Amino acid sequence: AQSVTQLDSHVSVSEGTPVLLRCNYSSSYSPSLFWYVQHPNKGLQLLLKYTSAATLVKGINGFEAEFKKSETSFHLTKPSAHMSDAAEYFCVVSVDRGSTLGRLYFGRGTQLTVWP
């Protein structure tokens, strides 16, 4: 069975401070893992993805995530938060790696607030 647990429903940081959004997954197979961001009244945008290459994945807007198989984690980080980072973030696991047939399992989301 596949599932995703986002450990924090809300995270608040000050602008310029580091961001950490936590995600743990459960998968019967080697997973593909994604982080998507959803800004208010906007669609989902892919931030980054892990598909069995390097375990440290760099994405857009300075975000990165590290796949840790031993910990079944895929936490999202950014060294310095910007006001424009305020949004909802979804951790997602796909069952069929490298296949167009893979369905996505979404975490419940983490709302990131950035204070000036």
- Residue in 20, 46, 60, 83 binding another protein, rule: CB under 8 A: 46
51 binds another protein (CB under 8 A): yes
- Scanning 13-21, 57-65, 73-81, 101-109 for contacts with another protein by CB under 8 A, the matching segment is 101-109
18 binds another protein (CB under 8 A): no
- Scanning 17-25, 29-37, 61-69, 77-85 for contacts with another protein by CB under 8 A, the matching segment is 29-37
* SS3 of residue 105 by DSSP: strand
Distance of CA 57 to the CA centre of its chain: 11
Nearer to another protein, 70 or 100 (CB): 100
77 binds another protein (CB under 8 A): no
CA distance readout (Å), 47 to 1, 18, 28, 89: 25, 17, 24, 9
- Residue 29 CA to residue 115 CA, distance in Å, equals 39
- Residue 106 CA to residue 90 CA, distance in Å, equals 7
Residue 57 CB neighbours (<10 A): 21
- Residue in 27, 65, 74, 94 binding another protein, rule: CB under 8 A: 94
